[in-house]
Amino acid sequence: MTLEDHVGDVLRKARESLAIPVESAARAAGLSVSDYRMLETDGRPMAQVDFAALGARLNLDGAKLAGIAAGWLPGPPDLNRWRRLRVIRTTLEDNTVNSFLAWDEASREAALFDTGWDDAPGRSWIAEEQLDLRHLFLTHHHEDHVAALDAWRRRFPSLLVHGNPPDTPPTQRSGSPDPVPLGRLQIAQRDTPGHSEDGATFVITGFPDGAPAVAVVGDALFAGSMGRGFFSTPMLHRNVREQILSLPPETLICPGHGPLTTVAQEIEHNPFF
């Protein structure tokens, strides 16, 4: 599996959020404008790139940027540690989105995180593991994350849906709701607006055998990158730092797109932080 964003995507996101012209980024990188454009497009550096100077210009960590360009990938987690956690990937055209299913072993109570494009793969896990699906947590209301909401609701009419309502500015919300128990697991909401105004992260704790916490972050953070700040880039940066990267280092991060990662790996390798 490849990263959601290659180094060119990372550069373009950073440059556009700061409204820095291509010419200025190219000069810092020591590239011609056309070579720099190619780098943003395909993520393959054709010539020697001065990542230190380019990073300084774009507010990115130059060494981490060079690491992404050199092909860094997060170490794949051994999901057997969590046992009661599944990653469900569904695709429409070229958009593959992750949703996640977690459950309590004893009670079989289950929670789904984002709907994906299609409910069928998640439903087969639920049938196979004989789960009692009680809760649906929505990280945000972008189409790829909620596309199958009606389908899930039809199949599970008593499903409790959690998350921030769409189109409510973060300032109008009165703090995060109480954690939701799921058998012996607990699911706590942390607001992480910035990519969207309703952005939320859900932190699952209480996995047996000391398995670390799991943070379902939606599009706030990707392995080696982050979502676009459609609502506010500075707010997104701050929330990722304060609400996600402040979790214990071994916390498993489950992003809405691309591979899974951990807090420790993102602190070490993500050029945005």
Residues making contact with Zn ion (CB under 5 A): 142, 219
Least distance between Zn ion and beta carbon 44 (Å): 26
Q: Kindly tell me which of 142 and 269 has the beta carbon lying closer to Zn ion.
A: 142
- Tell me the closest approach of the beta carbon of residue 237 to Zn ion, in angstroms: 16
Residues with Cβ within 8 Å of residue 68, at least 6 apart in sequence: 3, 6, 7, 10, 224, 225, 269, 271
Nearer to Zn ion, 197 or 219 (CB): 219
Of residues 74 and 256, the one with the C-beta less far from Zn ion? 256
Closest distance of CB 119 from Zn ion, Å: 19
CB of 71 to Zn ion, least distance (A): 26
* Cα pseudo-dihedral 137, 196, 212, 119, rounded to 10: 40
Q: Which residue is nearest to Zn ion (CB)?
A: 142
User: Is the CB of 134 or the CB of 142 nearer to Zn ion?
Assistant: 142
Nearer to Zn ion, 4 or 40 (CB): 4
Nearest distance from C-beta of residue 221 to Zn ion, angstroms: 12
